[in-house]
Amino acid sequence: MDFKKQLISGTLIKRYKRFLVDVKIKDKVITCHCPNTGSMMGLLKTGNKVWLSLSDDPKRKLQYTLQLIQVNNALIGINTHLTNKIFFEALKKKKIHNFGKPNIIKPEYKFNKGTRFDFYLENNKKKILIEIKNVTLSRNKHLAEFPDAITERGHKHIEELLNAKKMGFEVYLIFVVQRNDCKYFSIAKDIDEKYDTLLTKALSKGVNVFCYDCKMSTKGIIINKKLIFQKNE
């Protein structure tokens, strides 16, 4: 997934009201859109280097959007709206081989009245549902974690994946780590114990769980390799 235009670098000042970030570009302070509803734990230190995209849409209230944050030597993608695009591109380019050769790929698949899954695939007679989660949290060296806050929506998605499994679908929960400094992945049980419990149940019932990191640059983001999933005891 390539950024459409060259990103603009700046220095993080603060995030507030969840969707707003103040960034210093040269000698000017700009208020930017923050496309991430999570806590962004560990990413928001004042002075961190950031990269922004600039929209040429005159109807937009905020012309700049936060895309990347540098923490130490790691580059982290914070735009959760890009996660499905990153995965979809990897799927089309056959960089992910878990699903065979699907002849049908449908994004934003309506499963029932209250639930949509990120992708529906068909591979011969297999009917596959995929839910994608974006990961940015890393509190320990080389370890990516999810979630960074309690996620009621995440609980619901696991429960619906279990329902889909009972109905005969092949189901997957895919974690996409938008950072390039991790080798392992785990659920942050201390942050959301219910999510860990539900995921443990899902694994025992045949829900497939995988995690991939990304190659990160200011030019674009692409799926890289599978991370080792460390289960909690």
d(CA 220, CA 227): 20
Q: Where are the domains of the chain?
A: 8-77, 80-229
Domain 8-77 fold: OB fold (Dihydrolipoamide Acetyltransferase, E2P) (2.40.50)
Q: Is the pLDDT score of 98 beyond 90?
A: no
Burial of 31 (0-12, 13-18, 19+ CB in 10 A): middle
∠ Cα 46 50 53 (to 5°): 140
In whole angstroms, how far apart are CA 73 and each of 40, 183, 216, 217? 17, 15, 12, 12
What is the average per-residue pLDDT within 61-83?
A: 96
CB < 8 Å & 24+ apart, contacts of 19-24: 20/62, 21/50, 21/66, 23/50, 23/52, 23/64, 23/66
Token representation of residue 233: 């005891």
pLDDT at site 34: 98
Which of the four pLDDT bands, split at 50, 70 and 90, describes residue 113?
confident
d(CA 83, CA 104): 20
Class of domain 80-229: alpha beta
Cβ distance 114 to 197 under 8 Å? no
Which of the four pLDDT bands, split at 50, 70 and 90, describes residue 97?
confident
Q: What kind and span of H or E run contains 200?
A: helix 193-204
Could you tell me the pTM of the whole model? Answer: 0.95
Token representation of residue 165: 């499994």
pLDDT one-digit tens code per residue, 177-207: 999 999 999 999 999 999 999 999 999 999 9
Q: Is the pLDDT score of 101 beyond 90?
A: no
